[in-house]
């Protein structure tokens, strides 16, 4: 996947997630945030409510089981959605491609950004996969 995604790329990722047609190799850290931003800008969609089901269904369609050790992760999804929502809120009207590029260039662009806020044992626990767990190291900045 290219390092800079266009608005058309983000639309394709979002639609591919919803339709469960996005190639598995393209479901990257950047694609997760692209889909989050896309969903947050869709009228009539509650991303915090809808994204979990979309990811679970996508995982199943691509052969990834949703278990206590793989697949969908509630705490990571909800934390990432909160980051994406805060990022968009600070940039009203920004094209999604610009918002995504900026977000990925910030600390959120690092796949391990959550480990500043959660200890590894807490974040990767079965409980954190099933339900939202608040950070145990440092509160989220938004």
- Residue found under tokens 């968009």: 88
> Is residue 16 included in any domain, yes or no?
yes
Percent of the chain with pLDDT over 70: 98
Q: Is residue 138 part of a domain?
A: no
Structural domain including 27 reads 7-130
Burial (Cβ within 10 Å: 0-12, 13-18, ≥19) of residue 43:
exposed
Is 37 within a domain? yes
Q: What confidence tens digit (pLDDT) does each residue in 60-116 have? A: 999 999 999 999 999 999 999 999 999 999 999 999 999 999 999 999 899 999 999
- The answer to whether residue 141 sits within a structural domain is no
Give yes or no for residue 2 having a pLDDT over 80: no
* Structural domains of the chain, count: 1
Q: What's the number of CA atoms in the CB half-sphere (13 Å) around residue 115?
A: 7
* Domain assignment present for 17: yes
Residue 14 lies in a domain: yes
pTM: 0.94
Q: What is the band of 38 on the pLDDT scale with cuts at 50, 70, 90?
A: very high
pLDDT score recorded for residue 3: 59
Q: How far apart are CA 4 and CA 95, in angstroms?
A: 13
Task: Report DSSP state, residue 44.
Answer: T
3-state helix, strand, coil in the chain (%, to 5): 60, 0, 40
Of 34-38, 50-54, 108-112, 126-130, where does mean pLDDT reach its minimum?
A: 108-112
> Is residue 137 in a domain?
no
């Amino acid at each position: 996947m290219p390092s800079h995604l266009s608005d058309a790329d983000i639309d394709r990722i979002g639609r591919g997630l919803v339709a469960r047609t996005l190639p598995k190799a393209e479901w990257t850290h950047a694609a997760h945030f692209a889909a989050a931003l896309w969903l947050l800008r869709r009228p009539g969609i509650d991303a915090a409510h809808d994204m979990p089901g979309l990811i679970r269904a996508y995982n199943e369609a691509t052969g990834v089981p949703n278990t206590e050790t793989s697949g969908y992760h509630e705490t990571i999804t909800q934390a990432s959605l909160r980051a994406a929502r805060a990022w968009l809120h600070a940039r009203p009207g920004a094209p999604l491609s610009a918002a995504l590029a900026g977000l990925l260039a910030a600390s959120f662009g690092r796949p391990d950004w959550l480990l500043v806020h959660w200890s590894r044992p807490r974040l990767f626990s079965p409980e954190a996969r099933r339900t939202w767990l608040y950070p145990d190291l440092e509160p989220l900045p938004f």
